[in-house]
Chains A and B, each alone.
Chain A
Amino acid sequence: MPVAASAVYFLNLRGDVLINRLYRDDVGSCLLSTGAWNLFLFMGSGNMVDAFRTHIMQTKELGTCPVRQIGGCSFFYMRISNVYIVIVVSSNANVACAFKFVVEAVALFKSYFGGAFDEDAIRNNFVLIYELLDEIMDFGYPQNLSPEILKLYITQEGVRSPFSSKPTDKPVPNATLQVTGAVGWRREGLVYKKNEVFLDIVESVNLLMSSKGNVLRCDVTGKVLMKCFLSGMPDLKLGLNDKIGLEKESQLKSRPAKSGKTIELDDVTFHQCVNLTRFNSEKTVSFVPPDGEFELMKYRITEGVNLPFRVLPTIKELGRTRMEVNVKVKSVFGAKMFALGVVIKIPVPKQTAKTSFQVSSGRAKYNAAIDCIVWKIRKFPGQTEPTMSAEVELISTMTEKKSWTRPPIQMEFQVPMFTASGLRVRFLKVWEKSGYNTVEWVRYITKAGSYEIRC
């Protein structure tokens, strides 16, 4: 069954219900049998989601599994800032659908609340949330969740009936047709004085490197973020320097592919606006974009990744109470570029008593809360290799020395105008029947995903 939810609860960290909505009756009985007797008669009383609270929140099992069965019900939950969003079902529901619904609903709420989604935001907007919950899911089936469209007829102030007699009321232009239309993510009749498109290629590099410098796992997950300010119903086509797309293109135009670096994408996924059938047959990314900001596509690359940084750690344990830590970080991108906000977290044992460092660049600090030496370099030029050497003194413990399990070194950074994959935008074409000119802006940035070096 494609049903995603029988009920949705928003709880704070103490387990109090902030807001909830029952879509189906079937969870009533199983919540009854697990001790939450009043669920379907009363909403939101303090001890109502007892089943969830006593079984999940109060035990250490929180965090062991996001899908749990309690009595006849199954609970799926996600934590977003200081709120648990819990979905309750009693049938064989589509879990993937349920979690994705939660993710999208949160994005929707954020777009309504202006960015924040937390306990206060929920309390301050409960009327709006009730209204949205009623609209985005019916009888447990997710409906249209596009903020763009919903904002047409669900607003903070409440929309008055367009057909009512009062002439002052603002009419809603075909809201219902928009919700259900084939282009359910863009409204008609948009006009911009200046037609602009901003493209951001954001890549995260995930790396797991052994202490000997072997790459154990390495991939790049990239996103193409788009901000559109375009009039009318434009048709867009995006060209990248990916291998398959280029091959197909040269095939169609029956001329040999241009030389130059081509990228092999392991996988691409697209926003729902992209015509997938066309991508499959012609390998072109064509779409009618939503207005404003959205994530056009995501991709993943494992071959030919240019790692922006190499980290060479040497950690020596000198007897029971002393350690020597030397870390060298090498930037391997172009000398003219630079990385921003570089943070290197070097783990040290819990019983660290005293640390002293020497760094050739940036600042280092010992942070006892996370048991790490945190080395920060605000601006890190390419082709350099700063070093840090630290001496760590440990408290000698009476208990037999248990070998220290070393967590990996973790790194954060941002490198503007650099893509670890080498991906480039070749063109972005915009067609609209009125034939206006557009200005396109493209930016690249590479960030650290989980960049871990074992030591």
Chain B
Amino acid sequence: MSGHDSKYFSTTKKGEIPELKEELNSQYKDKRKDAVKKVIAAMTVGKDVSSLFTDVVNCMQTENLELKKLVYLYLINYAKSQPDLAILAVNTFVKDSQDPNPLIRALAVRTMGCIRVDKITEYLCDPLQRCLKDDDPYVRKTAAICVAKLYDINAELVEDRGFLESVKDLISDNNPMVVANAVAALTEIQDNSIRPVFEITSHTLSKLLTALNECTEWGQVFILDALSRYKAADAREAENIVERVTPRLQHANCAVVLSAVKMILQQMELITSTDVVRNLCKKMAPPLVTLLSAEPEIQYVALRNINLIVQRRPTILAHEIKVFFCKYNDPIYVKMEKLEIMIKLASDRNIDQVLLEFKEYATEVDVDFVRKAVRAIGRCAIKLERAAERCISVLLELIKIKVNYVVQEAIIVIKDIFRRYPNTYESIIATLCESLDTLDEPEAKASMIWIIGEYAERIDNADELLESFLESFPEEPAQVQLQLLTATVKLFLKKPTEGPQQMIQVVLNNATVETDNPDLRDRAYIYWRLLSTDPEAAKDIVLAEKPVISDDSNLLDSSLLDELLANIATLSSVYHKPPETFVTRVKATAQKTEDDEYAEGSEAGYPESSAHSADGPTSPPTSSSNDAHVGATRPAPAPSTSPPAAPVPDLMGDLLGMSNNSIVPVDQPSTTPGPPLPVLLPASTGQGLQISAQLKGQDGQIFYSLLFENNSQIPLDGFMIQFNKNSLGLAAAGPLQVPQLQPGTSVAILLPMVLFQNMSAGPPSSLLQVAVKNNQQPVWYFNDKISLHVFFTEDGRMERGSFLETWRSLPDSNEITKDLPGITVNGVESTLDRLVESNMFFIAKRKHSNQDVFYFSAKIPRGVAFLIELTTVVGTPGVKCAIKTPNPEMAPLFFEAIETLLKS
């Protein structure tokens, strides 16, 4: 019985809106219904049909339930943009809430709760009051949720009108679904309130546990989630609770199972009898394993949770490691999680089997998975002392396959194995050295260099090996440079002969004079001073015995683990992060009573909260955190490159109670200071509408700053904007949101833009063609210029070394020169400052006869870099600009930009 609604999507060319309007006012019911369907279809594909508001609302008074639902749907979407007109619907709502049909009563209350318009909310209270006491359970269950909706809109109103008490009464309702929804509503209100609203007493607890049996599956989830916060008084009570919850483990719904597991784990903390605990563990294992035969997405959620559970209760799944073996066709995200759990469950008993699996995985196709498998072998070696030798022999076998990334990954883990078992496995160093030339990843290189330095006395040709790296010292990444420095010092201390002495000279010179990296420079100076003042002390420090590491890389802090276990089945348990790190919403009441510092503090405290969650647990063991100058330390985490944006007053955000998240307000006249915008559409051609606009970069984002001035005699509304295909693919990131423009008023808009959306073919050009329309006038077209400097990104800064290297690596054909005769550079300092401000970074300066030559670097999105040479005589007109870039076709655009920059 498949429908044919797709016909409603087809349109006639002749003005759609007027036609719909006509049909909506038709005297025939069927025609009206079809028209509303068409309106909804238009809404679905994103057309703005808000202008039909009154006509649609007129169709609301109908006995046809389907039509009524469609009108309600329309209202939910557009009431907010037409608050004044929305009031028209109130009467029908109130009337519907008293309809003899319970479905209509419930529908009215449900829909009213979704319309977040103050005027409607006012009228919601009385019907809601009635519906909470309705005879029909369907209405009551809908009303219960509606209280949560109202609390979200206006918490005070809920408290003042005594809705909380009414919902609490519903907990004793005789209908299980009403009970479940009331519990859900109260739990949510409690989560958002700082006052105790919904406290679970032992009485409510037992009542709810009884209701559990009769609830729908979802109701069981609501109740179990609410009850998991309950703290049992003693072990006996805990046992009782657990006994009544365990049957839920057999439910087919994975959410019920996980919520039951959460509740049982919480109560288990109190249970002292080891027999009971063992028994519970035995009962929980099979349902957890069964979750792994669900859809892969559910498997993923289950695996992330199992990861937490086995950290607290390793015995639960100790015998089940086989179920975590990867299937060939498992999605990669499932495989990765399974691997993680296999490492956790690996023991002396099953390690042989596990190693066979890992070895199998290490020959699969997906590179990331293979790397993780290799790393897993290393971690098992570190974890299980008795199996270390077997692990290493597997690693050596893998190295022999000579697959590049396998070898590199193996070297990284072997470095850790050396740290864990000093003086045991060094015999394999010779094998490692064979693969020396194939290393191209920084971490693998750094690990290998660390090994050479650490065991310099046992490697006959250690100096030769290190020397081969030294040639490329300036080009190496920081991680490798640091290791090279340390390894050379070690070598010198161990073999203070002529060769190493020369090497150390070279390295120290490189690391102090030639580098910009403060970490490297500081470390080099310390070594230098140590070596020159007291070589013996240097020996004591540099060659000190290192503490043995253990595999703690993946264990969560105990209190964090507690918190995450209390959040089983939720996002928090999937991210392995406490909820407050990714939930930006602050408690409604808290926000009212406390000042804004609270909100901002919680934001700034977690600058990396947006980082990809899976990165956390997969980070490899950093063996040397307690040993700063040895081991393959990673560079210290760079300070967050994007500090929280300066708080801008945000009218719209505040209205919604989410003041701290919007990056930029949508319509905020105060954010367009500075010089007036160039007029692109003068009022004379725009029938009274004047548009000024310019591209702007702000906080790494690109905006189109627009100023609309209405000098006509009529109000203008329904503004839309469209950009023609252009060389950078600039397009609006969202629709233009211009309120109705009354005659004689103006409005400034910052329109966020995205790049690379609609690229034009052909040679790059700075032309940006814009079309703006509104409901009253014809479409206006005007041209703007793309000034490239707006797009220069903050990551355009280049190291001196890499600048030179890039300059050399680019062929001469990529060098383009242009004379800018009309430009004078007066003050060097001020010019440089200005350029840096536009993300054009100063590299170096030199004198060439009487001319000054400056070098800069800049970058635009997609990593297109520009290396720039400016030659000029300060104070006299004329600048010669030469650039080198991998994308020489962008040069004309660039020259225009630099001209603008230097002129300003």
Q: Is the CB of B177 within 8 A of A2?
A: no
Q: If A71-B610, A97-B218, A176-B139 touch, does A35 touch B752 (CB 8 Å cutoff)?
A: yes
Q: Is the CB of A2 within 8 A of B225?
A: yes
Q: How far is the CA of A179 from the CA of B181 in the complex (A)?
A: 13
> What total count of A-B pairs have CB within 8 Å?
372
Q: Is the CB of A179 within 8 A of B325?
A: no
Contacts of B734 in A (CB 8 A): 35-38, 47
Q: If A45-B46, A125-B2 touch, does A454 touch B65 (CB 8 Å cutoff)?
A: no
A17-46 toward B: CB 8 Å interface, digit per residue (1/0)? 111101011101110110111101111111
Q: How far is the CB of A395 from chain B (nearest CB, A)?
A: 19
B93-106 toward A: CB 8 Å interface, digit per residue (1/0)? 00000011111101
Q: How far is the CA of A70 from the CA of B661 in the complex (A)?
A: 12
Q: Is the CB of B248 within 8 A of A403?
A: no
Q: If A33-B661, A69-B582, A97-B569 touch, does A50 touch B251 (CB 8 Å cutoff)?
A: no
Contacts of B77 in A (CB 8 A): 43
Across the two chains, which residue of chain B brings its CB closest to A121?
B2
Q: Is the CB of A2 within 8 A of B81?
A: no
Q: How far is the CA of A428 from the CA of B45 in the complex (A)?
A: 51
Contacts of A405 in B (CB 8 A): 363-365
Q: Is the CB of A127 within 8 A of B570?
A: no
Q: Is the CB of B142 within 8 A of A50?
A: no
Q: If A1-B225, A26-B585 touch, does A100 touch B662 (CB 8 Å cutoff)?
A: no
Q: How far is the CA of A103 from the CA of B297 in the complex (A)?
A: 10
Q: Is the CB of B325 within 8 A of A32?
A: no
Task: Say whether A358 faces chain B, with CB atoms less than 8 Å apart.
Answer: no
Q: If A90-B584, A405-B364 touch, does A450 touch B327 (CB 8 Å cutoff)?
A: yes
Task: Say whether A195 faces chain B, with CB atoms less than 8 Å apart.
Answer: no
Out of B9, B298, B327, name the residue touching A99 (CB < 8 Å): B298
Q: Which interface residue of A116, A177, A182 has the most chain B CB atoms within 10 A?
A: A182
Interface residues on A, range: 35 or more
Q: Is the CB of A42 within 8 A of B735?
A: yes
Q: If A97-B569, A272-B253 touch, does A403 touch B401 (CB 8 Å cutoff)?
A: yes
Stretch at the interface among B197-205, B282-290, B505-513, B674-682: B282-290
Contacts of A142 in B (CB 8 A): 218
Out of B5, B213, B752, name the residue touching A124 (CB < 8 Å): B5
Stretch at the interface among B66-74, B529-537, B738-746: B66-74
Q: How far is the CA of A63 from the CA of B368 in the complex (A)?
A: 13
Q: How far is the CA of A157 from the CA of B66 in the complex (A)?
A: 8
Across the two chains, which residue of chain A brings its CB closest to B6?
A123
Across the two chains, which residue of chain A brings its CB closest to B149?
A139
Q: How far is the CB of B275 from chain A (nearest CB, A)?
A: 18
Q: Is the CB of B250 within 8 A of A65?
A: no
Q: Is the CB of B653 within 8 A of A270?
A: no
Contacts of B583 in A (CB 8 A): 90-92
Across the two chains, which residue of chain B brings its CB closest to A144?
B216
Q: Is the CB of A272 within 8 A of B286?
A: no
Contacts of A297 in B (CB 8 A): 252
Q: Is the CB of B103 within 8 A of A182?
A: no
Q: Is the CB of A269 within 8 A of B40?
A: no
Across the two chains, which residue of chain A brings its CB closest to B734?
A37
Instruction: Say whether chain A's binding surface is mostly helix, strand, loop, or mixed.
Output: mixed
Q: How far is the CA of A5 from the CA of B724 in the complex (A)?
A: 37
Contacts of B435 in A (CB 8 A): none
Contacts of B141 in A (CB 8 A): 143, 180
Contacts of A131 in B (CB 8 A): 66, 69
Task: Say whether B295 faces chain A, with CB atoms less than 8 Å apart.
Answer: yes
Across the two chains, which residue of chain B brings its CB closest to A145?
B218
Task: Say whether B381 faces chain A, with CB atoms less than 8 Å apart.
Answer: no
Task: Say whether B43 faces chain A, with CB atoms less than 8 Å apart.
Answer: yes
Q: How far is the CB of A170 from chain B (nearest CB, A)?
A: 12
Q: Is the CB of B579 within 8 A of A92?
A: yes
B142-156 toward A: CB 8 Å interface, digit per residue (1/0)? 100110110010000
Q: If A71-B610, A141-B181, A300-B293 touch, does A176 touch B569 (CB 8 Å cutoff)?
A: no
Task: Say whether B313 faces chain A, with CB atoms less than 8 Å apart.
Answer: no
Q: Is the CB of B733 within 8 A of A267?
A: no
Across the two chains, which residue of chain B brings its CB closest to A274?
B250
Contacts of B353 in A (CB 8 A): 216
Contacts of A277 in B (CB 8 A): 213, 247
Q: Is the CB of A74 within 8 A of B213?
A: no
Task: Say whether B127 faces chain A, with CB atoms less than 8 Å apart.
Answer: no
Q: Is the CB of B246 within 8 A of A182?
A: no
Stretch at the interface among B159-167, B233-241, B328-336, B388-396: B328-336
Q: Is the CB of A78 within 8 A of B297?
A: yes
Stretch at the interface among A160-168, A326-334, A336-344, A372-380: A160-168
Q: If A26-B658, A176-B138 touch, does A63 touch B66 (CB 8 Å cutoff)?
A: no
Task: Say whether B214 faces chain A, with CB atoms less than 8 Å apart.
Answer: yes
Q: How far is the CA of A48 from the CA of B297 in the complex (A)?
A: 24
Task: Say whether B542 faces chain A, with CB atoms less than 8 Å apart.
Answer: no
Q: Is the CB of B69 within 8 A of A179?
A: no
Q: Is the CB of B569 within 8 A of A276?
A: no
Q: Is the CB of B65 within 8 A of A161?
A: yes
Q: Is the CB of B5 within 8 A of A67?
A: no
A362-395 toward B: CB 8 Å interface, digit per residue (1/0)? 0000000000000000000000000000000000
Q: Which interface residue of A35, A126, A131 has the most chain B CB atoms within 10 A?
A: A126
Contacts of B137 in A (CB 8 A): 176-177, 180
Q: How far is the CB of B699 from chain A (nearest CB, A)?
A: 12
Q: How far is the CA of A67 from the CA of B613 in the complex (A)?
A: 9
Q: If A45-B735, A216-B325 touch, does A159 touch B66 (CB 8 Å cutoff)?
A: yes
Q: If A139-B149, A405-B363 touch, does A72 touch B584 (CB 8 Å cutoff)?
A: yes
Task: Say whether B342 faces chain A, with CB atoms less than 8 Å apart.
Answer: no
Q: Is the CB of B585 within 8 A of A69?
A: no
Q: Is the CB of B46 within 8 A of A44?
A: yes
Q: How far is the CA of A243 from the CA of B585 in the complex (A)?
A: 51
Out of A93, A103, A112, A143, name the residue touching B571 (CB < 8 Å): A93
Contacts of A259 in B (CB 8 A): none
Q: Is the CB of B101 within 8 A of A50?
A: no
Q: Is the CB of B44 within 8 A of A47?
A: no
Q: Is the CB of B67 within 8 A of A124?
A: no
Task: Say whether A280 faces chain B, with CB atoms less than 8 Å apart.
Answer: yes
Q: How far is the CA of A114 from the CA of B3 in the complex (A)?
A: 10
List CB contacts (< 8 Å) of B566-615 with chain A. 567, 569-575, 579, 582-585, 610, 612-614
Contacts of A217 in B (CB 8 A): 322-323, 325
Out of A2, A182, A210, A454, name the residue touching B222 (CB < 8 Å): A2
Out of B176, B290, B360, name the residue touching A182 (CB < 8 Å): B176
Out of B41, B103, B246, B254, name the residue touching A126 (CB < 8 Å): B41
Task: Say whether B480 faces chain A, with CB atoms less than 8 Å apart.
Answer: no
Q: How far is the CA of A38 from the CA of B575 in the complex (A)?
A: 28
Q: Is the CB of A144 within 8 A of B293?
A: no
Q: Is the CB of A177 within 8 A of B735?
A: no
Contacts of B187 in A (CB 8 A): 1-2
Q: Which interface residue of B152, B255, B579 has the most chain A CB atoms within 10 A?
A: B255
Contacts of B80 in A (CB 8 A): 40-41
Task: Say whether A432 faces chain B, with CB atoms less than 8 Å apart.
Answer: no
Q: Which interface residue of B77, B80, B297, B403 has the most chain A CB atoms within 10 A?
A: B297
Q: Is the CB of B733 within 8 A of A182?
A: no
Out of A42, A76, A128, name the residue touching B297 (CB < 8 Å): A76
Instruction: List 11 contacting pairs A-B, 8 Å CB cutoff, sorted by A.
Output: A1-B187, A42-B46, A46-B46, A65-B333, A67-B301, A92-B583, A94-B570, A114-B2, A124-B4, A216-B353, A219-B323
Binding site for B on A (CB under 8 A): 1-3, 17-20, 22, 24-26, 28-30, 32-33, 35-38, 40-48, 50, 54, 63-72, 74, 76-78, 89-97, 99-101, 103, 112-114, 116, 120-121, 123-128, 130-131, 134, 138-139, 141-145, 153, 156-164, 166, 172, 175-177, 179-182, 184, 206, 208, 210, 216-217, 219, 221, 266-272, 275-277, 279-280, 295, 297-298, 300, 402-403, 405, 407-408, 410, 450, 452, 454
With A17-B46, A96-B254 known, 10 other A-B pairs at CB within 8 A are: A19-B44, A30-B661, A38-B737, A96-B255, A127-B40, A216-B357, A270-B250, A279-B250, A300-B286, A405-B363
